[in-house]
């Protein structure tokens, strides 16, 4: 009993610290206090806190001030605006100005006649809104020639300059062709890595803005920058491809210093800068770094350094892409992982086991002799002999090399390379290897954590941890497929199946909108969507690839459909309709590309044998039969291309119709709704053998047909029954691939086979979600059998052990075990419908939604169930109690309407349905 009240208190206590009504957690464009944005109408959001049940906002007021304004009379105010909108409200005040700093606040009114105090101030700062605002900065580069077929020493740039007293603020605007790392007076600028990030560099290049005010001092100062190849000109994709976007590194920087007397000055990249090389002899994302510390130039970025032997820079006169402000969170150091064990390989190699497959690098201390070379080799798993399994890396070296400069102790780590690894082989380490001298630095885009998942089943908890770690490792500026081999690309199919799970785990809105922009930019004029974004594959420089589908085909269903699926998911998960507005034309172009692929003249020719079958000829324009597809990728039993193509064609047409409805495009709504109906009708005639039975009698086919409502209502139950039979005949093992696996459990649950869904989820033998855990997995594998039951490996050429696609089951775990799903976009109305099953006796699941924390905790003994629920202010919820016919109590008393419960009813399954307002609730069966 004490535990029960402690659990209730754990939900209630945080609210007791607040007044009746308050406002907090202000964001602009999904970011907290963004520094340097170029959206003139940023999306403003906030959250309400109230200790009153069923609290709804009824009105709000926003006020905005430029930096330096202190009197409340100088605030620009919207005045009181009636409405309950508190997320993604477009700024509509006076025009925001280039380089200006603003602070803003919100206050709200609620349905209990309360008005909040003004929220704490949030900040946003505009970037450089026009090309002319960069003046007098010029692109600069180095004057020496290079062998551009291989990685070269990093150029180090420096500029010495004087500063007066009484600096008010200083901002550094900076970008590069390649990667950069900036410093002022010997101190690193900011904590971001791999800037300026990866975009479609030929079409847009991001810049960053830093507050360097604390780094400046009166008198002489120095500004420095190091460049490296990165995605711009380093090894990228396969076949030893380099220089995909350009072959010359360059720097653009502008430091603006404002003084308290109102004066200002600019220090910009121009011919007065100097350049040289130093210890970074090569730096490559795939292959690692070589640092010869004997060549270090100590204090090179400080004003007292003598740069007499440094050369002048050269102006880079080549055309450069348009500059845009960064729109997502940067990559940062976010976790430290200590090694758990020192192992020894078959030849005596020293191997560190980090205990976690991670993405980042090893930071360590070493003290040896001048010229001693320490080499690190990285891998995700060990082979059967206990050596690093590196065949799966293909051509990627994942190697770090350090040459010590003297006999002093040094702390070593890379600047411009990241590795995917759990195991690190350390060669030629000086002295005894002490685990305390090593740590793994995990890096990824700094997306705020949103979800918490915990159950009574340790294996499911581990599965959730593996999903989160897979997302961390692969959300590194772009959503990559894998972080270790010679690939690491923004595959569209992977992210379209994973987006909803990603949104539960982390606040991915800004991150995915940034990626979608590159996807849209790289769409062809004919509407084709590339396999990856940014589209590095479209820039391969190989004259002939007769066996490569990647070079010959422009797009693929299930992958290209990311342009319709991901914006829709952002709308559902975050309530961000701006994403639908921004990418609507791209969505429409893609559906028309699909339509053209299905109805082209050569498609009719390919089906000439159907010429005298009038109905089949009519159907041909809806059955996308001849284009390339990856199909249900890596499924043990594949689904045919035409089957997959047609389903995704229908789904994208349906999403486009629904988007058109939301955007008040009535004509498009009708056209694409009819198109979706026509595709489904053609699908049923072509791919069903009888009502509910499919021509392709396999798990993946039934899952996709059911998930996307390709069958008529009368046939669905029979199809679901057949799916259940196939799963059970397979020993409750899945036999699905990238596209169907995320929906397998949903299809089973939806049609009444919850027990089978739990049996599949909790299956531990091969193939299953939990099987990799029995083999020591700490992330999600690319293949069900990456390591076979006998310990051998799957396909060496495609065997990543950190691939998040199959982790899309996380959406079902949150939505069914935790019961949390959006009934209205952004969780304005919440569905709370947990469904205990399997061997679970308890679960504690929460989500920090755009409106606030949604919490669900349940304990089930088999005869009684108790639940604790938290619903955030300014939302409502529908709770479906899991047990049919249960007699419910609230806080130990018979359940009645009131104190947040607005209505009690019963559904067709005889389960209690409660319409609830915000607040904290404790329910139980008596």
Please identify every residue annotated as catalytic: 487, 782
Q: What angle do CA 829, 830, 833 make, to 5 degrees?
A: 150
What are the DSSP E strand ranges found in 399-459?
A: 399-403, 409-412, 419-427, 438-445, 451-455
Give the CB-side neighbour count of residue 145, counting CA atoms within 13 A: 1
d(CA 234, CA 237): 10
- Please state, in angstroms and as integers, the Cα–Cα distance from residue 190 to each residue in 173, 183, 332, 462, 793, following that order: 12, 9, 10, 34, 42
Q: How far is CA 731 from the centre of its chain?
A: 34
Residue 64: which of 94, 25, 21, 27 has the closest Cα? 94
Closest CA to 875 of 899, 859, 851, 898: 851
Count of residues making up the chain: 926
Identify whether 136 is preceded by a cis peptide bond (ω within 30 of 0).
Answer: yes
Decide if 266 contacts 280 (C-beta within 8 A).
no
Largest Cα–Cα separation, the chain: 88
What's the N-to-C CA distance of the chain in angstroms? 14
Token pair recorded at residue 563: 């342009």
* Secondary structure of 505-529 as H, E, C letters: HECCHHHHHHHHHHHHHCCCCCCCC
Between CA 334 and CA 344 the distance in angstroms is 29
Measured CA to CA in angstroms, residue 73 lies from 67, 104, 123, 299 at distances of 14, 14, 19, 49
- Measured between alpha carbons, how far is 448 from 371 in angstroms, rounded to an integer? 43
Cα R_g (the chain), whole angstroms: 29
Q: Put the strands of the sheet holding 155-163 in their side by side order.
A: 187-188, 179-184, 219-228, 155-163, 274-277, 311-312
Residue whose structure tokens are 């905790």: 857
């Amino acid at each position: 009993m004490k535990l029960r009240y402690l659990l209730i208190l754990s939900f209630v206590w945080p609210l007791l610290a607040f007044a009746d009504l308050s406002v907090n957690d202000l964001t602009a464009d999904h970011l907290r206090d963004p520094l340097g944005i170029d959206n003139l109408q940023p999306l403003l959001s906030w959250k309400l806190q109230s200790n009153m049940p069923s609290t709804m906002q009824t009105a709000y007021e926003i006020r905005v001030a430029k930096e330096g304004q202190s009197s409340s009379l100088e605030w620009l105010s919207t005045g009181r605006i009636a409405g309950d909108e508190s997320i993604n409200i477009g700024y509509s005040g006076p025009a925001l100005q280039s380089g200006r700093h603003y602070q803003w606040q919100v206050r709200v009114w609620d349905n209990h006649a309360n008005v909040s105090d003004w929220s704490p101030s949030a900040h946003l700062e505009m970037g450089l809104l026009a090309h002319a605002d960069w003046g007098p900065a010029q692109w600069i580069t180095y004057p020496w020639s290079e062998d551009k077929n291989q990685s070269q020493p990093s150029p180090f740039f420096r500029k010495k300059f004087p500063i007066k007293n009484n600096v008010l603020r200083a901002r550094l605007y900076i970008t590069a062709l390649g990667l950069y790392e900036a410093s002022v007076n010997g101190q690193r600028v900011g904590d971001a890595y791999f800037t300026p990030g990866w975009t479609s560099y030929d079409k847009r290049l991001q810049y960053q803005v830093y507050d360097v005010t604390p780094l400046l001092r009166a008198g002489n100062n120095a500004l420095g920058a190091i460049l490296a190849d990165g995605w711009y000109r380093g090894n990228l994709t396969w076949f030893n491809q380099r220089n995909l976007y350009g072959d010359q590194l360059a720097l653009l920087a502008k430091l603006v210093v404002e003084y308290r007397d109102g004066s200002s000055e600019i220090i910009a990249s121009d011919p007065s800068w100097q350049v040289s090389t130093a210890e970074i002899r090569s730096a490559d994302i795939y292959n690692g770094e070589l640092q010869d510390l004997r060549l270090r130039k100590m204090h090179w970025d400080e004003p007292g350094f003598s740069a007499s032997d440094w050369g002048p820079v050269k102006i880079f006169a080549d055309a450069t892409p348009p500059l845009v402000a960064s729109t997502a969170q940067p990559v940062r150091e976010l976790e430290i992982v200590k090694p758990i064990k020192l192992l020894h390989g078959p030849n005596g190699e020293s191997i560190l086991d980090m205990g976690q497959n991670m993405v980042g690098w090893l930071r360590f201390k070493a003290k040896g002799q001048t010229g001693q070379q320490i080499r690190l080799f990285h891998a995700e798993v060990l082979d059967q002999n206990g050596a690093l399994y590196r065949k799966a890396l293909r051509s990627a070296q994942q190697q770090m090399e350090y040459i010590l400069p003297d006999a002093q102790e040094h702390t070593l780590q890379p600047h411009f390379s990241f590795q995917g690894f759990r195991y690190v082989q350390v060669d030629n380490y000086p002295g005894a290897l002490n685990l305390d001298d090593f740590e793994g630095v995990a890096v990824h885009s700094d997306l705020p954590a949103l979800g918490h998942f915990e159950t009574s089943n340790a294996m499911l908890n581990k599965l959730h941890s593996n999903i989160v770690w897979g997302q961390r490792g692969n959300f590194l500026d772009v959503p990559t497929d894998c972080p270790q081999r010679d690939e690491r690309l923004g595959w569209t199919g992977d992210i379209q199946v994973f987006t909803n799970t990603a949104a539960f785990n982390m606040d991915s809105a800004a991150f995915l909108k940034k990626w979608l922009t590159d996807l849209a930019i790289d769409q062809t004029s004919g509407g084709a969507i590339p396999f990856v974004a940014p589209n590095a594959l479209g820039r391969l420089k190989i004259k002939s690839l007769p066996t490569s589908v990647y070079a010959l085909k422009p797009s693929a269903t299930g992958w290209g459909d990311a342009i319709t699926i991901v914006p829709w998911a952002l709308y559902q998960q975050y309530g961000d309709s701006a994403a639908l507005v921004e990418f609507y034309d791209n969505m429409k172009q893609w559906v028309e590309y699909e339509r053209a692929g299905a109805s082209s003249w050569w498609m009719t020719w390919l089906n000439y044998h159907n010429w005298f079958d009038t109905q089949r000829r009519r159907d041909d324009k809806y059955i996308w039969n001849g284009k390339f597809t990856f199909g249900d990728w890596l499924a043990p039993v594949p689904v045919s291309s035409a089957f997959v193509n047609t389903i995704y064609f229908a789904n994208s047409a349906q999403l486009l119709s629904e988007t058109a409805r939301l955007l008040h495009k009535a004509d498009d709504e009708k056209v694409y709704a009819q198109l979706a109906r026509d595709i489904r009708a053609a699908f049923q005639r072509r791919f069903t053998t009888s009502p509910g039975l499919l021509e392709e009698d396999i798990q993946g086919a039934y899952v996709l047909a059911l998930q996307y409502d390709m069958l008529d209502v009368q046939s669905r139950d029979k199809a679901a029954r057949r799916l259940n039979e196939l799963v059970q005949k397979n020993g409750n093992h899945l036999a699905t691939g990238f596209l169907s696996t995320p929906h397998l459990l949903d299809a089973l649950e939806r049609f009444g086979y919850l027990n089978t869904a739990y049996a599949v989820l909790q299956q531990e033998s091969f193939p299953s979600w939990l099987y990799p855990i029995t083999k020591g997995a700490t992330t999600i594998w690319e293949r069900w059998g990456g390591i076979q039951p006998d310990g051998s490996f799957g396909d060496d050429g495609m065997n990543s052990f950190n691939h998040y696609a199959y982790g899309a089951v996380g959406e079902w775990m949150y939505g069914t075990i935790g019961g949390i799903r959006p009934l209205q976009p952004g969780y304005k109305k919440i569905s709370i419908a947990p469904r205990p099953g399997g061997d679970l006796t308890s679960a504690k699941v929460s989500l920090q939604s755009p409106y606030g924390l949604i919490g669900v905790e349940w304990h089930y003994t088999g005869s009684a169930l108790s639940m604790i629920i938290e619903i955030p202010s300014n939302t409502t919820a529908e709770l479906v109690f899991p047990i049919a016919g249960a007699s419910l109590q609230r806080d130990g008393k018979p359940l009645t309407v009131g104190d947040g419960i607005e209505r009690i009813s019963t559904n067709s399954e005889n389960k209690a349905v409660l319409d609830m307002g915000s607040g904290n609730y404790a329910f139980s069966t008596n």
